[in-house]
C-alpha cells in the first residue's frame, strides 16, 4: 500500500472533517474545533469534561464555592430592593404596615382600630400571630417606620439598609447566597420570636433591625474564625450593644437581642462544622435552629390562647366586656368602651441597627 492509498482519518465528533491529531488521553482523532489544550498536546472535549469531574472544586472556609467571592452580592441587593419596594407600598398605602407588622395577639374592631385581646364580642375579630398569621414573624422585617412616624421616620430604613449592605456584601462573599439568605431570615425570625414572647400581645413591631443585629453577631463569630476583619467586628458589636441598651426606651430591644443571639448561634454552626461533612452539618444545624424557633412560637401561641379572657354580658345589660376575677373571686364586669383600648398609632420601630461608626 502506498502513502496515497492510506485511509483518511476524520474527527470522531465531526466525521466529515479530516484530522491527523489524536487526543492524548483517549487516542481518538480530533479536528481543530475539538482540540483542548492540555499539559501535553491536546485533549478532546469529552476527556476534558470527564477530567473536570475528578477535580475538587475550590471552596471558601465556610463551604461556599470560590466563585462566590467574585460574584455580585445578588441576595444582598435583592433584599435591599425588596425592603425599599415594601416601603414604597407603605407610603402609598399606610394599611400595609398593619397587615405586615409583627402583632402577637389583638382584636380588630368594626372601625378598623386594634384593641386588647379577649374573646371577640360581635363585630370584632382576632388577628395576629396567635391566630394563625405566622407570616408576620418574617414580613415585619421588611416594614419600616413611615416618614411621619417619630422619632426616626425615613432614617429607620436608610440606616438599616446601609448596615445590610455593609455586612451583607462581606458575609455573602464568604457564605455564598444560600447560606447567607438562610442566616438573614433566621436572624429576622429569631428577633421576632423573642418579641413574640416579651412584648405586650397587642404591640406592633416593625423593622429589619433584628436581622441586621443577627448579621452583626454572625459576622463577629466568622471574623474570629477567619482572623480577618475588614469591617471591624468588635467595634460594630460594641456599638450594637450600646445602641440596644441606650435606645431601649424607643426601640424594640427584644428584636435586637433576639436577632443578635440567633445570628451568633448561626455563626457557631457555620464556622465550626467539621470539614468532612460541612454542608450536611451546617444544613442540619440551621434546621435545628428553625425547629427551635417554630417550637417556641407554637409554645407562646398556646400560652396566649390559655390567657384569652372570656367575653361576658354586662350585669346591667349595657354591653359586652371581658371577665377578670376580682378580690371576691367573681368576674369584674366593665363596659366595652372602658376595657378595650385602641392601640396607639405609633409603633416601636426597631431602630438604627448596625449603624456604621466613624473611622
Sequence-ordered list of residues with C-beta below 8 angstroms from that of 268, at least 6 positions apart, any chain:
221
Residue range 284-319, pLDDT digits in tens: 999 999 999 999 999 999 998 876 655 444 333 333
Least confident of 18-27, 216-225, 269-278, 330-339: 330-339
Is-contact 269 282, C-beta < 8 A? yes
What stretch(es) of the chain map to CATH 1.20.1540.10? Answer: 71-305
Whether 125 sits among the annotated catalytic residues: the reply is no
pTM over cut 0.85: no
Element (H, E) at 127: strand 125-127
pLDDT of 208-265, one tens digit each?
999 999 999 999 999 988 877 777 888 889 999 999 999 988 899 999 999 999 999 9
The question of whether 209 is a catalytic residue gets the answer: yes
| Higher pLDDT among residues 221 and 347, named by residue | 221
pLDDT band at 133 (very low <50, low <70, confident <90, very high): very high
Q: Taking the CB of residue 268, how many other CB atoms lie within 10 A of it?
A: 15
How far is Cα 359 from Cα 352, in angstroms, rounded to an integer?
18
**Helix (H/G/I), strand (E/B), else coil: 59:** strand
Query: If residue 300 lies in a helix (H) or strand (E), which one and from where to where?
Result: helix 278-306
Per-residue pLDDT at 80: 97
Q: What angle do CA 94, 95, 97 make, to 5 degrees?
A: 80
Catalytic residue chosen out of the listed positions 209, 223, 252, 321: 209
Structure confidence at residue 134 (pLDDT): 95
Give the torsion through C-alpha atoms of 235, 241, 242, 247, to 10 deg.
Answer: 140
Q: Are strands 114-115 and 106-108 parallel, antiparallel or unpaired?
A: antiparallel
Q: Mind listing the pLDDT tens digit for each residue in 23-44?
A: 988 889 999 889 888 878 889 9
3.90.1170.50, 1.20.1540.10, 3.30.1330.20, 3.40.50.2000: CATH of 71-305: 1.20.1540.10
| Inter-residue contact 138 to 188 (CB < 8 Å) | yes
Amino acid at each position: 500500500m502506498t502513502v496515497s492509498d492510506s485511509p483518511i482519518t476524520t474527527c470522531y465528533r465531526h466525521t466529515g472533517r479530516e484530522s491527523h491529531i489524536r487526543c492524548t488521553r483517549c487516542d481518538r482523532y480530533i479536528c481543530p474545533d475539538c482540540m483542548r489544550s492540555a499539559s501535553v498536546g491536546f485533549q478532546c472535549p469529552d476527556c476534558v469534561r470527564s477530567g473536570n469531574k475528578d477535580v475538587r472544586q475550590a471552596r471558601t472556609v465556610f463551604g461556599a464555592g470560590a466563585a462566590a467571592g467574585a460574584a455580585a452580592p445578588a441576595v444582598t441587593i435583592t433584599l435591599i430592593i425588596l425592603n425599599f419596594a415594601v416601603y414604597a407600598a407603605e407610603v402609598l398605602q399606610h394599611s400595609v404596615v398593619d397587615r405586615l407588622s409583627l402583632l402577637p395577639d389583638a382584636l380588630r374592631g368594626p372601625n378598623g382600630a386594634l384593641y386588647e385581646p379577649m374573646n371577640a364580642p360581635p363585630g370584632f375579630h382576632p388577628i395576629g400571630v396567635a391566630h394563625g398569621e405566622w407570616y408576620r414573624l418574617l414580613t415585619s422585617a421588611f416594614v419600616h417606620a413611615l416618614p411621619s412616624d417619630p422619632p426616626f421616620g425615613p432614617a429607620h430604613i436608610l440606616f438599616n439598609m446601609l448596615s445590610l449592605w455593609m455586612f451583607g456584601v462581606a458575609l455573602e462573599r464568604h457564605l455564598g447566597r444560600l447560606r447567607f439568605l438562610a442566616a438573614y431570615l433566621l436572624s429576622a425570625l429569631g428577633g421576632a420570636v423573642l418579641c413574640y414572647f416579651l412584648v405586650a400581645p397587642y404591640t406592633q413591631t416593625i423593622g429589619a433591625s433584628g436581622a441586621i443585629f443577627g448579621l452583626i453577631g454572625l459576622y463577629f463569630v466568622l471574623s474570629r474564625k477567619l482572623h480577618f476583619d475588614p469591617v471591624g467586628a468588635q467595634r460594630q458589636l460594641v456599638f450594637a450593644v450600646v445602641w440596644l441598651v441606650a435606645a431601649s426606651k424607643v426601640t424594640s430591644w427584644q428584636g435586637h437581642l433576639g436577632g443578635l443571639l440567633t445570628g451568633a448561634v448561626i455563626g457557631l454552626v457555620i464556622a465550626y462544622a467539621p470539614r468532612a461533612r460541612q454542608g450536611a452539618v451546617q444544613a442540619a444545624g440551621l434546621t435545628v435552629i428553625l425547629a427551635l424557633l417554630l417550637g417556641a412560637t407554637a409554645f407562646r401561641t398556646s400560652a396566649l390562647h390559655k390567657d384569652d379572657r372570656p367575653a361576658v354580658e354586662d350585669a346591667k345589660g349595657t354591653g359586652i366586656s371581658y371577665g377578670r376575677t376580682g378580690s371576691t373571686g367573681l368576674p369584674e364586669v366593665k363596659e366595652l368602651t372602658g376595657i378595650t383600648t385602641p392601640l396607639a398609632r405609633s409603633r416601636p420601630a426597631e431602630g438604627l441597627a448596625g449603624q456604621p461608626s466613624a473611622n
